[in-house]
Structure 1
Amino acid sequence: MRHRSFFIITTAVTAGALTLSACGSRDDSNSGGGSGTTVVIGLDAPLSGDLSALGQGIKNSADLAVKTANKNKEVDGVTFKLEPLDDVAQASTGQQNATKLVSNTDVMGVVGPLNSDVGQSMQKVFANANLVQVSPANTNPELTQGKDWQSGKKVRGFKTYFRTSTTDAIQGPFAAQYMYNEKKLKKVYVIDDKKTYGAGLAATFAQEFKKLGGKVVGTDHINPDDKDFSSVASKVAATDAELVYYGGEYPAGAPLASQIKNAGAKIPTIGGDALFSAEYINLAKANAEGDFASSVGAPLETLATAKKFIADYKSAGYKDAFEAYGGYSYDSTWAIIQAVKAVVEKNDGKLPESKDAREQITAAMQDVSFDGVSGKVGFDEFGDTTNKQLSLYEVKNGKHVAVTSGEFEG
């Protein structure tokens, strides 16, 4: 998502196994009664506010990864701990959280955030401290490929930034191809919330839709903090649009789509992964029927690698659903765990001094590769996921149902 989203280290050592590192603290409460290294993985997501359903899913899934690593003793002599922070989906708060994490020398990696604009506010803070960041949900291409990515001039700005979700550069066009080629819809009204994620996503959809031969019959912007979109809805209804594309998140997207239908335009609203939430349906109610949302990856229930995650998440008793980014959050956390594992093994079973540990973990992340919940996890030269799978969902009988899944063919 984002628009479309942690930390590390305190130590102690079992005799003959690990040497106490300078960047950790003693912990005599580890299983077996011995001491060991505690690695803190930080998490930043909107844990309160309108997007908290997505944020809580991210947090819980990261928590499950940490618990799984500890239970299975994934890294010999290391116990992982999760420290979640709430950014309330605000860039300024995210930046404050990033500064807080950097100042804690026990922090060796960060998972998150959810929103692309929040991610932008954090990147330089983490880069200056060589602290690795893995987002399960940021989808704006600029975060990894630079502001001129659309012209083909791709430049990676921050070596510490990675993500497990694919970008809007293919998510918008993927939806455009389905709507034009499969649904035979030729006229679209494009609306966005003027935010980094929404505006970028809407632009990539519109560009591909026009390239295919479709027509953009109108464009508009909304304030996502508003709830009354009747003016925009009336403008849509006055056109011959066959669909609406909305670049933004579900708290505004759902009432917008509902009010468009109430204004007389009985046409589907399509959006990105930030509309792929049960909360979208809860807000729009019956008017959500027939609407679409694209999302990164294949539907988790179709992946053999995700079956254990789904079962374990249910068994853990989390009260909130893992939502659209749960699998990617688990994989982001696991990627940090694997990078820590590589550094520990490289350094004879211990983590080096904090500054060196952060730098080595960032370097190790580039080579991380494993079969994750969301499929094959790995990163290209920009820090983007090498998994380019996408899916499109339609609301049918009150639920998001996958209608197509595959890789975008540009």
Structure 2
Amino acid sequence: MKLKYVAPLLALSMAIGTAYAEDTVTVTIGSASPLSGPQASFGQDNANGVKMAIKDLNAQNIVIGGKKVIWKVDAQDDQADPKQATTVAQKFVDEKVNGVVGHLNSGCTFPASRIYNNAGIPDITPSSTDPKISQQGFKTFFRIIANDNALGSGLANYAKTKLKATKVAVIDDRTAYGQGVADVFAKTAQKDGMKVVDREYTNDKATDFSAILTKIKASNPDVIFYGGMYPQAGPLVRQMRQLGIKATLMGGDGICAPELGKLAGEAVAGTICAEGGSPLSQMPGGEAWKKRYDAEFGANAFQLYSPYSYDGTMVLAHAMMKAKSVDPKKYLPFIQNINYNGVTKKDIHFTKTGELVDATITISTFDKDGKKSVIAVQ
């Protein structure tokens, strides 16, 4: 008697399974950042923000186009290398991801953005600040943070008005980000009446700056601006103090990381940096979000950009919901005026070139213990 029910039950089981499969759709968000090498702490922080957003989206049981969405993240290591970034970008295109949050570095986002544009896949960077990226005219590119024009000019104005600097020296690491933010700082400093007494160059792998600093020391600047990332800024400021250089080290968001204090030791005291966006305490959902982040990834995981990668993921998801489609080409037009209330900012929306509307910058300083504190919000 029992055998009579095997076939009908099997058929019913298969029917239910088929119906379930047809009633779900998988959405994959690509996350691209350096997950290895000197900048890995920044890169992992970016990826963590995306992962946290994906977890929250899955908990909401979202339905788009009549199908329940299963959200996934594909986190790839671009090694902070433009060539590897294009490989990662092509991988995302080949795998038909639904959107991308990345890359971390401007030098990586610049070439990758063309690949995404050609494929019609929206990409939101939570951290690349080179203005030239948005000037390419790609409709798929968006930046959810202030760009180098805001960072470089804000720091130059602070040097003039608050530090009363009259002479500045400028160093950059020749990357798209480093050179870009340094150029803006130097141009604004001159416009504000400060004298750029020296302009030096290094690279994003350097650790010995003694020759550059010895030359700069002779001009006795009030400020040394470094356009680059924290793995170089740490030994740079340490060597400044060893050579008896008393100038204030300043830099953009690339040096605004907790890791800077670990690399520089007590020499980090007085270093000033600027990051795009508001301090966590002034973000609409910053402090509550940070508690959840720490519980998920550990108290030492947070660096800088994860709230922006979280919001970037949410912007893509909400654009899909408004479009009632997970097809990149169909939901892309909904991103610019998404008006999403995020962790980092209320009413997130973008200009026609993909820049964040009403972007804010935060200027901070480090004490001798490596603790960062806010000194200005612009």
TM-score normalised per structure 2 = 0.91
Is 1:113 the counterpart of 2:103? The answer is yes
Query: C-alpha deviations, 1:269-305, integer Å up to 9, x for none?
Result: 1000000101111101111010011001110122232
Residues in 1 aligned to 2:52 and 2:109: alpha-carbon distance in whole angstroms: 23
Query: C-alpha deviations, 1:90-133, integer Å up to 9, x for none?
Result: 0011100111110113x110000000010011111111110110
Is 1:85 the counterpart of 2:76? The answer is yes
Is 1:66 the counterpart of 2:54? The answer is yes
Residue in 1 that maps onto 2:6: none
Does the 8 Å CA contact 1:27/1:38 hold for their aligned counterparts? no
Residues in 1 aligned to 2:152 and 2:19: alpha-carbon distance in whole angstroms: 48
Residues in 2 aligned to 1:322 and 1:136: alpha-carbon distance in whole angstroms: 14
Is 1:99 the counterpart of 2:90? The answer is yes
Does the 8 Å CA contact 1:111/1:135 hold for their aligned counterparts? yes
Is 1:199 the counterpart of 2:146? The answer is no
Of residues 228, 245, 265 in structure 1, which corresponds to 2:245? 265
Bigger fraction of residues in helix: 2
Counterpart of 2:336 in structure 1: which amino acid?
Q
The 5 Å alignment of 1:222-301 reads 222-301=202-281
Counterpart of 2:173 in structure 1: which amino acid?
D
Counterpart of 2:74 in structure 1: which amino acid?
E
Is 1:399 the counterpart of 2:368? The answer is no
Bigger Cα Rg:
2
Coordinate RMSD, CA, aligned: 1.8
Question: Secondary structure of 2:80's partner?
Answer: coil
Question: Secondary structure of 1:254's partner?
Answer: helix
Change (3 A) 1:243 1:84: same
Does the 8 Å CA contact 1:69/1:75 hold for their aligned counterparts? no
Residues in 2 aligned to 1:318 and 1:332: alpha-carbon distance in whole angstroms: 22
Does the 8 Å CA contact 1:243/1:268 hold for their aligned counterparts? yes
Does the 8 Å CA contact 1:42/1:110 hold for their aligned counterparts? yes
Residues in 2 aligned to 1:161 and 1:47: alpha-carbon distance in whole angstroms: 22
Residues in 1 aligned to 2:200 and 2:83: alpha-carbon distance in whole angstroms: 26
Does the 8 Å CA contact 2:337/2:350 hold for their aligned counterparts? yes
Does the 8 Å CA contact 1:39/1:79 hold for their aligned counterparts? yes
Question: Secondary structure of 1:190's partner?
Answer: strand
Counterpart of 1:380 in structure 2: which amino acid?
T
Question: Secondary structure of 1:188's partner?
Answer: strand
Residues in 2 aligned to 1:90 and 1:75: alpha-carbon distance in whole angstroms: 37
Residues in 2 aligned to 1:284 and 1:235: alpha-carbon distance in whole angstroms: 21
Question: Secondary structure of 2:28's partner?
Answer: strand
Residue in 1 that maps onto 2:25: 37
Residues in 2 aligned to 1:26 and 1:313: alpha-carbon distance in whole angstroms: 37
Counterpart of 2:150 in structure 1: which amino acid?
I
The 5 Å alignment of 1:115-264 reads 115-146=105-136, 157-264=137-244
Question: Secondary structure of 2:285's partner?
Answer: helix
Does the 8 Å CA contact 2:277/2:361 hold for their aligned counterparts? yes
How many residues of Structure 1 are paired with residues of Structure 2 in the alignment?
357
Of residues 310, 326, 333 in structure 2, which corresponds to 1:363? 333
Does the 8 Å CA contact 2:29/2:99 hold for their aligned counterparts? yes
Residues in 2 aligned to 1:84 and 1:202: alpha-carbon distance in whole angstroms: 30
Question: How much has 1:263 moved relative to structure 2?
Answer: 0.9
Does the 8 Å CA contact 2:175/2:203 hold for their aligned counterparts? no
Query: C-alpha deviations, 1:183-226, integer Å up to 9, x for none?
Result: 11111011101111001100100111111111111110012212
Does the 8 Å CA contact 2:126/2:308 hold for their aligned counterparts? yes
Counterpart of 2:45 in structure 1: which amino acid?
G
Identity rate of aligned residues, in percent? Answer: 31
Question: How much has 1:42 moved relative to structure 2?
Answer: 0.9
Query: C-alpha deviations, 1:64-96, integer Å up to 9, x for none?
Result: 011111112344521211110000000011100
Structure 1: gaps of 5 or more residues: 1-24, 147-156, 345-349, 352-356
Does the 8 Å CA contact 1:56/1:320 hold for their aligned counterparts? no
Does the 8 Å CA contact 2:28/2:98 hold for their aligned counterparts? yes
Question: Secondary structure of 1:371's partner?
Answer: coil
Change (3 A) 1:320 1:109: farther
Counterpart of 1:254 in structure 2: which amino acid?
G
